[in-house]
A and B are shown apart, each in its own frame.
Chain A
Amino acid sequence: MKIDLTQFRQTFLQESADHIASMETGLLELRSAPADIELLDNIFRAAHSIKGGAGSFGMTNLVRFTHSLENLLDRLRSLEMQATEEVIDILLRCVDVLRRLLAADAGAAMPAEALELDERINALMPNETSPAEAAPEEAPELVEDAQKMMLYKVEFRPDRQLFASGTNPIVLLRNLAALGTVSCCHLHCEELPTLTDLDPSQCYLSWTVELASVREEAELREVFEFVEHLAEIRISCSDAPPQPDSLLAQNSTVAPDIADSSAPNCMPSSAERRKAPDADRRQVADRRQSDVTDRRQSSVKPSTNGDSGSIRVATDKVDRLIDLVGELVIAHVMTAQMVEDFEPSCLPRLREAVAAMERNTRELHERVMGIRMLPLGALFSRYTRTVYDIAKATGKQIRLEMHGEETEIDKSMLELLGDPLTHLIRNAADHGIENSEVRKATGKPEEGVITLRAFHRSGRIVVEVSDDGAGIDTDRVRRKAIERGLIGSDAQMSDEQLRMLIFEPGFSTREEVSDLSGRGVGMDVVKRNVQQMNGTVALASEKGRGSTVSIELPLTLAILEGLLVRVCDRTLVLPLLAVIETVPLRDEQIVRVAEKGEVVVIRNESVPLLRLSRFLGLPPQNAEAGAVNADANIRRLAVIVQSGQKKIGLVVDELLGQQQVVVKSLERNLRRIDGLMGATILGDGCVAPIVDVTAIGVLNLFSLQASTKVLPQIAASVRAAGAASI
């Protein structure tokens, strides 16, 4: 039977990625505490674990590279060497190389950077021989002995302390016996004291075993591999076939010179080997072992790299799920029983049971979604390095502070958030924070601070990147925007509106392009990425004091707290979080503004209106010409929603209630439709489109109108997708 370990590769890769991340964090912390043993231990352990596992998956480059790294780290943690700025810098680069090696294919060549770093590491440790030099000389080809029967005599004289190592001499003798045929076993019990003097924790016995075997002497010796320091082991041999007579003769003479007397009869090769010191012999044995290992490794298929979409879940989360499922099963059994023996008086109890089931289901739903939630800290920690690199390259002094790392966010969003945050942090470090001279001149501390903050605000997650740098110069933004033709030269804009211009495609206020934060292409990408996650970006800035970019995101992409509304005969879902209030709407309240559409005035504030019926391509006459009531004044509602910075009133016919809905992507199932973020299948099987409130705010309300065919298409595609996923 072959035992295949490749199935654990994914675990190893994930674990190693964690180790690499913690190495990086540790190294960055090391800068302020270069002799922190605990820190150094952790870093060492991470490298050590990677090396230990990498060999099992044929990742030889990784093993080789971590070998030097481990040596260096070992010296650091034993304080033989100091973790100077230079050393830390090299180690940080090593971390990058480790990442690459981890992602590399099995057969890939060692990257040049790895070789260079390897050299630099070895240069740091003058006494260390490089692994290539340290590698043992090519072992001489082992001549396969013909299956020659040898007669071995094995003397095994353990120390008194043998038992203290957990060694059971019987096991050793049995293992030895398994290698051949024991012709004789002598027990020497001369040292055994009288019972009163006997200490049972001591070993007083020794043995001499005569064994006929076709095995090599080294194999016999291997039986005693673990007790070489605890016992005297002498093995001698003759290749004379064991003959009953001679055996008897030898049994009576326990002579130590048997080997010598029989030497002339030995095969020359085995005689040579016997002359070699023990150490060499072991090396040969090890060598063979490692050859075997190499062969096994080379047969490992280069598996596909990257994340196969697995997720690690804390056990207590799973435990709670199991509990809930258990409760659900019980509730179901009870309900089923009541339905079976139903009589009207049962109704209240049945209601109660159904309510309990509903609670259970809801919690189960939440918790299952919770499995996808990961703490933002996992993402945040990587930016310490980003800031370090920029500070290093620009000569600025920058510190990164983090708050709310424990805030959890959907795994897919965590991944999507990576790039936007990188852009923002690079921007803050590169453009925001001034250099030390400027900061000193303006009375600020020389060290600039970038703060990453995550928290919940009214059911959404806010991630903020702020810096105490120069802030955004709106005059320059205006000049630049005019130059770029983004606004007219006489445009009347508030500072806030001007600042938001930096999120426009192709905007950059910085004349000289820095290779760190790219070429001003970042900010519009940030905005786009965030909007893809149904999030919003806001920017606050004060000249001379710094800027804060806030990203607001829904907790998860997959579920949404929805407000169900009726428009004509259709049901639509509005994201409840965006809803501010609902006001009754009479026709005379609607003011038509030339070129701008309709507005409604609420508490002296005019709010633009969007008729969802028109937007969805439903004939507006439907409702009015319906048999119910021709009077259009009746029962129309405006749901006021927050769309970015604006308020918009959505005209609906009726509120149907609120419920959690599972968002099905339209882009994936059909195509992108402006103004809709997806659709959902309701409890009665109807497909309801979900309005994208954020998008509606930036689209021109007047022109927003979907084709009349859209709704049936949505219904068909979402149903098809739903059926496929079932």
Chain B
Amino acid sequence: MQREKNANLEKEGKVRRVLIVDDSVSMRQMVGYTLRQGGYEVIEAEHGADALDKLTGATVDLIITDLNMPVMDGITLIQNVRSQPAMKTKPILMLTTEGLAAKKEQGKAAGATGWLIKPFDPEKLLQTVAKVLP
């Protein structure tokens, strides 16, 4: 359903863009591939600081971020994004693994919109994205 919606949006030239932030190349590839299959446009960043950099050059509709990353971790990224007026209400999903409940709480407190559990099921990922994207 979401895919059809995206296909329609694409026709109108309004493709939704997602920023994936993860230091793992394979994870970026997998999430990116899934999202592209779902009809989203994808840009990638290696860590929090890289993401902030990318965000100055492009508007995105959703940010999906890992939490454990070098240079700048996901929590700091979320706090940073939330502190910018233009992105106060930008949907942000964190990529976490089960068993790191504390991290998830920290992320929620920092202003994350929701979370995705690694390893992820592609269909479930698209469903979750649809949960937070208008």
Contacts and interface: CB of A to CB of B under 8 A. Distances in A.
A8 interface: yes
Interface of B: 1, 3, 23-27, 29-30, 33-34, 37, 68-70, 82, 88-92, 95, 97, 99, 108, 111-115, 118-124, 130-134
Interface string A53-65: 1111000000100
A11 B25 contact: yes
A167 interface: yes
Contacts of A163: 88-89
A167 B113 contact: yes
Contacts of B99: 67, 70-71
Contact of B24 (A53, A63, A201, A292): A53
Contacts of B113: 165-167, 226
Given A3-B123, A165-B112, A15 B91 contact: no
Given A52-B27, A52-B97, A53-B24, A168 B134 contact: yes
B89 A166 contact: yes
A269 interface: no
Contacts of A3: 33-34, 37, 122-123
Interface centre among A3, A67, A166 (most CB of B within 10 A): A166
B119 A171 contact: no
B112 A166 contact: yes
Contacts of A166: 82, 88-92, 111-113, 132
Interface stretch (A43-51, A89-97, A571-579): A43-51
A48 B134 CA distance: 32
Contacts of A172: 131
Contacts of A7: 33
Contacts of B27: 49, 52-53
Across chains A and B, which 7 residue pairs bring their CB atoms closest together, nearest first? A55-B119, A226-B114, A3-B122, A166-B113, A12-B26, A52-B118, A56-B119
A171 B26 CA distance: 30
A669 interface: no
A445 B127 CA distance: 64
A656 interface: no
Nearest to B36: A3
A8 B33 CA distance: 10
Contacts of A53: 24, 26-27, 30, 118-119
B124 A289 contact: yes
A295 B124 CA distance: 14
A1 B37 contact: yes
B131 A168 contact: no
Contacts of B24: 15, 49, 52-53
A168 B88 CA distance: 12
A33 B122 CA distance: 41
- Interface residues of B, dominant DSSP: mixed
Contacts of A724: none
A67 B118 CA distance: 13
Contact of B91 (A8, A168, A223, A225): A168
A314 interface: no
B6 to A, nearest CB: 13
Given A45-B69, A56-B30, A164 B108 contact: no
Contacts of B88: 163-164, 166, 201
A15 B26 contact: yes
Contact of B108 (A52, A67, A71, A229): A229
A313 to B, nearest CB: 13
A293 B25 contact: no
A51 B114 CA distance: 21
Contacts of B108: 165, 229
A108 B109 CA distance: 41
Contact of A5 (B112, B115, B122, B130): B122
A201 B37 CA distance: 34
A171 B37 contact: no
A168 B89 contact: yes
13 contacts: A3-B37, A8-B33, A44-B68, A45-B69, A52-B24, A52-B118, A53-B26, A166-B111, A167-B113, A170-B134, A201-B88, A292-B124, A293-B121
A100 B30 CA distance: 24
A56 B68 CA distance: 18
Interface centre among B69, B112, B119, B134 (most CB of A within 10 A): B119
B70 to A, nearest CB: 7
A51 B97 contact: yes
B26 A223 contact: no
A7 B29 CA distance: 10
Contacts of A175: 130-131
B60 to A, nearest CB: 12
Nearest to A170: B134
Nearest to A161: B111
